Amino acid sequence: MSTEILDQPVVEKEKAPEPVKRVSIIISRGTLDGVYPGLIMANGARMEGIEATVFFTFFGMNAVLKDKMDKLKVATVGNPAMGMPTLLGAIPGMSAFASKMMMKEMDKLDIPPVSEFLEMIEDSGGEVYACKAAFEMFHLKKEDLCPQVKDIITIGDFYEKSAGAQIIFT
Amino acid sequence: MKEREIAGKVLEFDDENFMVNYKDWDASIATALASEEGLQALNDRHFVVLDFLRKTYEEKGTGPTMRRLTKESGVPTKELYALFPGAPAKKAARIAGIPKPHGCI
């Protein structure tokens, strides 16, 4: 009988976890609080030297529309996290007011307006794409999109461009 | 915390390799730290960024966010990423001899 097998180490040596190298972030919502987390993550990735691609779809498209990108609002109705009674939140102008207050607080933290944020992401080497299905569904034209949008792509293209990336849906 | 000799001076560094005492810093230390970060040489534009980081740190006790840095130093985002390739905020702070930046932007 041989003891060779027992002599071999039973547990493999633990490897250090692989650092994140690429992220592919999907922004699917069009509210202020729906858009910003994805933008912060994309910009933060570039700051760390991580490659970043941002893909806008459905109402997230609002964030790349010239007319709408800097006028995003936070929902004051149907948003229990706001802590505002629904009837109060329904008062005309309440959503605009709450959004303005939020933008003010974000500005204090140096969080830029959406248009400037997208410029930062593009200038730092991040790539911005719009979803073809949403583009057609909302009857948009190319000139409606902000200049940072590199292309209007299908979901298949999106997966191709996300090769080797962590895909993050927001 | 550990001590290392850089450009002929013994300096203290934290666990993430940022200088502990920013006052110990000078241009020759910056050049030595830059070469550790893989930068061949520092030019005037690098020093515009480094000086701005140090000035902000001195005034506010914390380094600037990237947005403030690019807006106020006159070095735009694209150039900043070219000057300090990879992770510019951290790299520049390390070479400038100030602590690790804590902003998210």
Length of chain A: 170
Q: Do B81 and A120 touch (CB under 8 A)?
A: no
Task: Show me where the domains of chain A are located.
Answer: 21-75+113-169
Q: Domain of B19?
A: 2-96
At B22-79, the pLDDT tens digits run 999 999 999 999 999 999 899 999 999 999 999 999 999 988 998 999 999 999 999 9
**Cα gap A56→A82, rounded to integer Å:** 25
Residue B101 lies in a domain: no
Grouping H, G, I as helix, E, B as strand and the rest as coil, residue B71 is: helix
Q: Please give the backbone phi and psi of residue A51, each rounded to the nearest 5 degrees, phi first.
A: -65, 140
- Nearest one of A58, A60, A40 to A118, comparing CA atoms: A40
Q: CA–CA distance from A124 to each of A39, A42, A55, A109, A114 (Å)?
A: 13, 10, 16, 20, 15
Is A116 buried (19+), middle (13-18) or exposed (0-12) by CB count in 10 A?
A: middle
Smallest CA–CA separation between A159 and chain B, in Å? 24
Residue B104 has a CB neighbour count (10 Å cut-off) of: 14
Does the annotation count B104 as an active-site position?
Answer: yes
User: Are the C-beta atoms of residues A57 and A135 closer than 8 Å to each other?
Assistant: no
Residue A55, phi then psi, degrees to nearest 5: -120, 120
CA distance B50 to B34: 11
CB contacts of B81 in chain A (<8 Å) are 46, 123-125
What are the pLDDT digits (tens) for A17-34?
999 999 999 999 999 999
For residue B83, being part of any structural domain is answered with: yes
Block residue for tokens 């102008």? A93
Residue B103 inside a domain? The answer is no
pLDDT in tens, chain A (170 residues): 555 566 665 666 678 899 999 999 999 999 999 999 999 999 999 999 999 999 999 999 999 999 999 999 999 998 888 888 889 999 999 999 999 999 999 999 989 999 999 999 999 999 999 999 999 999 999 999 999 999 999 999 999 999 999 999 99
Q: What is the CATH number of domain A21-75+113-169?
A: 3.40.1260.10
Whose structure tokens read 């729906």? A34
- Taking an 8 Å cut-off on Cβ atoms, the answer to whether B78 and A49 are in contact is no
Between CA A144 and CA A164 the distance in angstroms is 31
Do residues A166 and A22 make contact, with C-beta atoms less than 8 angstroms apart? yes
Per-residue pLDDT tens over the stretch A87-115:
999 999 999 999 999 999 999 998 999 99
> What is the separation of C-alpha B84 from the centre of its chain, rounded to a whole number of angstroms?
10
Given B78, B89, B90, which is nearest A123 (Cβ)? Answer: B78
Residue B5 token pair: 């000799």
Substitution target in B77, B79, B83, B94 with the highest count of A β-carbons within 10 Å is: B77
Q: How many domains does chain B have?
A: 1
The predicted complex's ipTM stands at 0.89
